[in-house]
Amino acid sequence: MPSYKAPVEDFLFLFHDFLKIQERGDLPGFADMTRDMTSAVLEGGAQFCEEVLQPLNQPGDEEGCHFENGTVRVPKGFRQAWRQFCEAGWNRLSAPEEAGGAGLPRVISYAITEMGMAANQAFAMYPGLTGAAYAALWATGEPWMKEHVAPKMIAGEWTGTMCLTEPNCGTDLRLMKTRAVEQPDGTYRLTGTKIFISGGDHDLTDNIIHMVIAKIPDENGKLHDDLATVNFFLVPKVLVDPETGAVGARNAVTTGAIEKKMGIKGNATCVLNFDEAVAWRLGPKPQKGGAADERSKSAGMAGMFGMMNIARMGVGVQGVAIGEVALQNGVSYANERLAGRALTGVKNPDQNADPIIVYPDVRRLLLGARAAIEGGRALIAWVAFLSSIEQFSKDEAERTEAKDLGNLMIPVVKAYLTDKGFEAANAAMQVWGGHGYIRENGMEQFVRDARINQVYEGANGIQALDLVARKMTSKGGRATLTYFAKLEAFLKENEKDAQIGALIPALRQGYADMGEAAGWLMNNAPENYDHAGAASYDMLNIFGIVTLGWLWARMARTAQEKLEKGEGDPAFWKRKLVLARYWMERELPNTGACLARIKAGADTLMELDAAHF
């Protein structure tokens, strides 16, 4: 069975040496986060994930969820683990204190999320989606929801879901058929079928709060293929009295089926049927007759996009998490497995073969994954830190900059890190040779589990389109210009630096490729949008490669300073320096290939008639 050791030391490095969160006592929750405090929280979370969640991962995959007589049961051990998880408070670290949360900075809660996802993604998705759901409720809900519903979710007594996908649409939500009709008492009756709903039903808790999107029909009862008519609703599985918070009858929400699927089998993926279910609309009422874009800017829809942003960050974390655990098991196997002799002479004379870690090609697999995972973890920590600055900084300019950079990075976090997580899981399985393909060894489960991360919460191709068509260009490209300016300043400041100057030329070339790609798009996409569609994936990859390169250069600077001051463990700093060099030598050159593909445009992709594929 695979094992897992949470990377506590790496988190402490990121938070206290790299981001220096302890210097931001002006932000709520940060003043308490001394290194000792952070360490205590992380060690506690690590122990729980390593000892309780990880041992349930492989059995949960073997057993899966059960659907009998309309009832969903999670795998053995999950219910008890859920109770322990919530009692210890791991599900609510960053939730607002006034609702029963611990109010800790998001950087900390994302670290615990990563540990949970690495130990057992199927389990950790239940609290993960609940967290996204209660955050949206907290942002957009009416006072009674904040009083009676959100605290139950935060306490772990109830869970939450996100219900967007329908049989005929996942990406194009304009096509949805679920409708919500307003009643004289101000509630709605919601009817339709949602599919693939993670944690849509289970026996972990007595109630589930579904956060559902549905269309409001026009006065003639007709639905329009117009996103402006899509609204955001709260639909409890068991009804809640807004006055008292008391639970009452079952709402008209039934589970049609659970999916048999490739991975994350311990997480129930459900078909949910809403049959005139009682629903409460989130956010202010749509203005009848208002312009479409005016109505679509309702606080409710903003809440939904906020929920999706949190969920997308969470999925990026899943990518890093699975990559980490798979890699750990790949490394331990590479140190044990004996095969052949090192190309440069015997390394293990006491035995008849050397461990496979002596081979450059095995190291290529492991080091590539290691550099992507630790770089990805740094990206998540940075974006989580930005989200606290955006929310709480007293400096408006700093808030705006944090918001711009955070928004720009969300599709990169979601898509680039889940691609890298999948590649890492695949690389670790490759290191195990044929044994990696054998189920009982647990390596193929990582590959199966990691695969969904590239699909849900908006398929990765859609994230790339979001980056190119929306995030890079909105507000006159303000976020992109901020990003460029910061990167340019970093390059200028460090290219003659005795410590990390050697890392800069590769990063500068990557940045030049990025700028050239953006310029090519500006010149060519307006006349043919297919050029933007054809370029989007490569553009997202350039962003991923360059951003991780930038983070690696900054981490290398910290490592070098620590080495020179004689602080900490020299082996840890040396390792960081090698990984930074790896990124510059072996990943950054890929931006050139991305640029060449972008400049090839869309013509070849679009030439063949659909019938000739």
Ligand X SMILES: Cc1cc2nc3c(=O)[nH]c(=O)nc-3n(C[C@H](O)[C@H](O)[C@H](O)COP(=O)(O)OP(=O)(O)OC[C@H]3O[C@@H](n4cnc5c(N)ncnc54)[C@H](O)[C@@H]3O)c2cc1C
Of 88 and 169, the one with the shorter C-beta distance to ligand X is: 169
Total residues at the site for ligand X (CB under 6 A)?
A: 21
Residue 174: Cβ-neighbour burial (10 angstroms; 0-12, 13-18, 19+)? middle
Q: Minimum CB separation from ligand X for residue 168, in Å?
A: 8
Whether 243 sits among the annotated catalytic residues: the reply is no
Do residues 542 and 594 lie in contact, with contact meaning Cβ atoms separated by under 8 Å?
yes
Of 461 and 568, the one with the shorter C-beta distance to ligand X is: 461
Residue 314 makes contact with ligand X by CB under 6 A: no
Q: Which stretch binds ligand X (CB under 6 A): 53-61, 358-366, 449-457, 507-515?
A: 449-457
Residue 65 makes contact with ligand X by CB under 6 A: no
Comparing CA positions, the residue from 387, 380, 310 lying closest to residue 132 is 310
Say how far residue 537 (Cα) sits from the centre of its chain: 18
**Which one among 89, 283, 376, 458 touches ligand X, defined by CB under 6 A?**
458
**Which one among 53, 209, 452, 594 touches ligand X, defined by CB under 6 A?**
452
Residue 534 makes contact with ligand X by CB under 6 A: no
User: By CB under 6 A, what part of segment 124-183 binds ligand X?
Assistant: 162-165, 169-171
Of 11 and 456, the one with the shorter C-beta distance to ligand X is: 456
Q: Minimum CB separation from ligand X for residue 150, in Å?
A: 19
Q: How many Cα atoms are found within 13 Å in the side-chain-facing hemisphere of 32?
A: 10
CA-to-CA separations, 545 to 238, 385, 541, in angstroms, rounded: 46, 20, 6
Of 85 and 196, the one with the shorter C-beta distance to ligand X is: 196
Q: Minimum CB separation from ligand X for residue 605, in Å?
A: 12
Q: Minimum CB separation from ligand X for residue 255, in Å?
A: 13
Do residues 543 and 412 lie in contact, with contact meaning Cβ atoms separated by under 8 Å?
yes
**E-only strand ranges, 29-107:** 66-68, 71-73
Q: Minimum CB separation from ligand X for residue 575, in Å?
A: 35
Task: Report the 10 Å Cβ neighbour count for 595.
Answer: 22
Q: Minimum CB separation from ligand X for residue 318, in Å?
A: 12
**Which one among 8, 209, 381, 462 touches ligand X, defined by CB under 6 A?**
462
| Cα 487 to Cα 408: distance, rounded to the nearest angstrom | 14
User: By CB under 6 A, what part of segment 243-282 binds ligand X?
Assistant: 261, 269
Q: Which stretch binds ligand X (CB under 6 A): 246-254, 459-467, 537-545, 591-599?
A: 459-467
Residue 602 makes contact with ligand X by CB under 6 A: no
User: By CB under 6 A, what part of segment 185-214 binds ligand X?
Assistant: 196-198
Of 181 and 459, the one with the shorter C-beta distance to ligand X is: 459
C-alpha angle 410-229-135 in degrees, rounded to nearest 5: 40
| Cα 149 to Cα 146: distance, rounded to the nearest angstrom | 6
Residue 459 makes contact with ligand X by CB under 6 A: yes
| Cα 274 to Cα 214: distance, rounded to the nearest angstrom | 11
Of 27 and 169, the one with the shorter C-beta distance to ligand X is: 169
Distance linking the first and last C-alpha atoms of the chain: 43
Of 164 and 190, the one with the shorter C-beta distance to ligand X is: 164
Q: Minimum CB separation from ligand X for residue 254, in Å?
A: 17
Residue 7 makes contact with ligand X by CB under 6 A: no
The backbone region for 476, taken as left when phi is positive above 0, alpha when psi lies in -120 to 50, beta otherwise, is left
| Cα 264 to Cα 198: distance, rounded to the nearest angstrom | 10
Of 268 and 584, the one with the shorter C-beta distance to ligand X is: 268
**Which one among 299, 455, 563, 578 touches ligand X, defined by CB under 6 A?**
455
Do residues 266 and 75 lie in contact, with contact meaning Cβ atoms separated by under 8 Å?
yes
Q: Minimum CB separation from ligand X for residue 196, in Å?
A: 3
Task: Report the 10 Å Cβ neighbour count for 150.
Answer: 26
Q: Which stretch binds ligand X (CB under 6 A): 77-85, 392-400, 450-458, 512-520?
A: 450-458
Backbone angles phi, psi at 335, to 5 degrees: -80, -20
Q: Minimum CB separation from ligand X for residue 84, in Å?
A: 24
| Cα 281 to Cα 145: distance, rounded to the nearest angstrom | 11
Do residues 507 and 546 lie in contact, with contact meaning Cβ atoms separated by under 8 Å?
yes
Of 411 and 458, the one with the shorter C-beta distance to ligand X is: 458
Of 512 and 600, the one with the shorter C-beta distance to ligand X is: 600
Q: Minimum CB separation from ligand X for residue 462, in Å?
A: 5
Q: Minimum CB separation from ligand X for residue 545, in Å?
A: 21
Comparing CA positions, the residue from 503, 445, 422 lying closest to residue 63 is 445
166, 374, 401, 457: which is the annotated catalytic residue? 457
DSSP 425-480: HHHHHHHTGGGGGSGGGSHHHHHHHHHHTTTSSS-HHHHHHIIIIIITTHHHHHHH
| Cα 36 to Cα 53: distance, rounded to the nearest angstrom | 25
State the sign of the Cα–Cα–Cα–Cα dihedral 165, 169, 175, 178.
negative
Q: Is 209 helix (H, G, I), strand (E, B) or coil?
A: strand
**E-only strand ranges, 440-584:** none
Q: Is 320 helix (H, G, I), strand (E, B) or coil?
A: helix
Q: Is 196 helix (H, G, I), strand (E, B) or coil?
A: strand
Of 334 and 464, the one with the shorter C-beta distance to ligand X is: 464
User: By CB under 6 A, what part of segment 402-421 binds ligand X?
Assistant: none
Do residues 450 and 422 lie in contact, with contact meaning Cβ atoms separated by under 8 Å?
yes
Do residues 479 and 472 lie in contact, with contact meaning Cβ atoms separated by under 8 Å?
yes
Residue 461 makes contact with ligand X by CB under 6 A: yes
With CB atoms as reference, the residue minimizing the distance to ligand X is 170
Residues noted as catalytic? 457
Enumerate binding residues for ligand X (CB under 6 A). Answer: 162-165, 169-171, 196-198, 261, 269, 452, 455-459, 461-462, 465
